[in-house]
Amino acid sequence: MAAEQAAKRPTITTKMAKIGDEEDSRGSSTNHKDGDENAQLALEKIVGIQHEIDSLNEQASEEILHVEQKYNQLRKPHYQKRAKLAQEIPEFWFTTLTNHPAISQLLNEEDEQALIYLENLTVDEFEDVKSGYKISMHFRPNPYFENAVLLKELTLDVSGDSTITGTDIKWKPNRDLTKQSDVEFKGRKRPLEEVPSFFCWFNDTNGNESDEIAETIKDEIWPNPLQFFLHGEVSVDEGEEEEDDEDEEAEGDIEGEEDDEDPDPDELVDLEEDEDDDDEGPDDL
């Protein structure tokens, strides 16, 4: 730390010397030189203080990391309980993924048909947290591929660079969702061509989009999938309250109509007297 501070001082000195030269070229007095020396001393002190702040920030990062490691372990049994219960809900993870605004944009109709067989999804951060994580998608036997589990793993090295690996999907004959079906064309078969598919993500190991999808699943879906599974749903209590409000409004309208149909007796008497007065003609007077 002291070496880093000393390394920065020549830069500051050079900077202040340039300022002093500029002041001299404009005819500055010796008072400016004294001010330059004070400013240089102040800057050197700020550098020292900044190193202390940086040291505290590093210490805080280490302590936050230890706390995160601790709570990752505490959360694991809850994630396991949630996973077991989610398997009792039909198409829980399929609905969760298709309701997520970003993930749903990556799915075509055939992707969705394959994801119906998704029975569990897990995200496992490495024990030290900072070195990466693994996403696992568990599938029931399905007509698309042989794999029971599809994995996507992201590993970070000391410099923060990522290495991404994914499962090589074993597609069943003519069911590869990442390629067009080969068809006869003038006696020859067209070569298979790649098509946009969510399942291309498992083989994408060197793109920013690959990282983005993984981060979305880890940071948005995994902590609380329920918010996407229930997206647009109305709870039973809310539904009952709305029905009660509608019933009360309907009753109020009916009562209002009844009031209009039954005029006040006093008003009827007044009407009858007005009719008698109208019936009296000039001869009666």
Please name which of 64, 43, 85 lies closest in space to residue 225, comparing C-alpha atoms. Answer: 85
- Are 135 and 201 part of one and the same domain? yes
**Is the residue at 269 inside a domain?**
no
141 and 181, same domain (yes or no): yes
Return the pLDDT at 231. Answer: 83
Q: What is the pLDDT of residue 68?
A: 86
Q: Where do we find the tokens 């396991």? A: 80
Q: Which residue has the higher pLDDT, 25 or 137?
A: 137
Residue 260 lies inside a defined structural domain of this protein: no
- Residue 278 located in a structural domain: no
Strands 188-189 and 162-166: unpaired
Highest-pLDDT range among 2-6, 7-11, 83-87: 83-87
Residue 214 resides in a domain: yes
Task: State how far the Cα of 284 lies from the Cα of 108, in Å rounded to an integer.
Answer: 92
Q: Choose one of 229, 244, 259: the last residue of a domain.
A: 229
Same domain, 166 and 130: yes
Indicate whether 57 belongs to any domain.
Answer: yes
Task: Indicate if 112 and 197 belong to the same structural domain.
Answer: yes
Q: What is the pLDDT of residue 47?
A: 94
Q: Report in angstroms the alpha-carbon separations of 11 from 5, 34, 47.
A: 11, 19, 11
273 vs 74, more confident: 74
Tokens standing for residue 30: 């010796």
In a shared domain, residues 63 and 117: no
Instruction: Identify whether residues 119 and 182 lie together within a single domain.
Output: yes
Domain shared by 67 and 114, yes or no: no
Q: Could you give the CA distance from residue 174 to residue 169 in angstroms, rounded to a whole number?
A: 13
Average pLDDT in the chain: 78
- CATH number of the structural domain spanning residue 135: 3.30.1120.90
- For residue 64, being part of any structural domain is answered with yes
What is the per-residue pLDDT across 122-167, written as a single tens digit (0 to 9) for each? Answer: 999 887 767 789 999 999 999 999 999 999 999 888 777 778 999 9
Rounded Cα distance between 64 and 58, Å, is 10
In total, how many domains does the chain have?
A: 2
Judged against a pLDDT cut of 70, whether residue 97 lies above it is answered with: yes
**Which residue is listed with tokens 């698309």?**
144
Strand partners, 154: 133, 164
Query: Whole-angstrom Cα distance, residue 9 to residue 43?
Result: 9
The answer on 102 and 207 residing in a single domain is yes
Q: Do 45 and 94 have their domain in common?
A: no
> In angstroms, rounded to a whole number, what is the distance separating the alpha carbons of residues 129 and 69?
6
Residue 107 has pLDDT above 80, yes or no: yes
- Could you tell me if residue 105 is inside a domain? yes
Whether pLDDT at 109 is above 90? yes
Q: Do 62 and 94 belong to one domain?
A: no
Last residue of a domain, one of 38, 72, 106: 72
Look up the pTM and report it.
0.63
Same domain, 101 and 167: yes
Which pLDDT band, with edges at 50, 70 and 90, does 284 fall under?
Answer: very low
Assess whether pLDDT exceeds 80 at residue 6: no
**Residues 43 and 167 placed together within one structural domain of the fold:** no
Average pLDDT over every residue of 185-207: 71
Residue 246 inside a domain? The answer is no
Q: Does the pLDDT of residue 181 top 80, yes or no?
A: no
pLDDT digits (tens, 9 = 90+) for 200-246: 999 888 766 668 999 999 999 999 999 999 985 644 444 455 555 55
Among 188, 203, 229, residue at a domain's last position: 229
Domain housing 38: 2-72
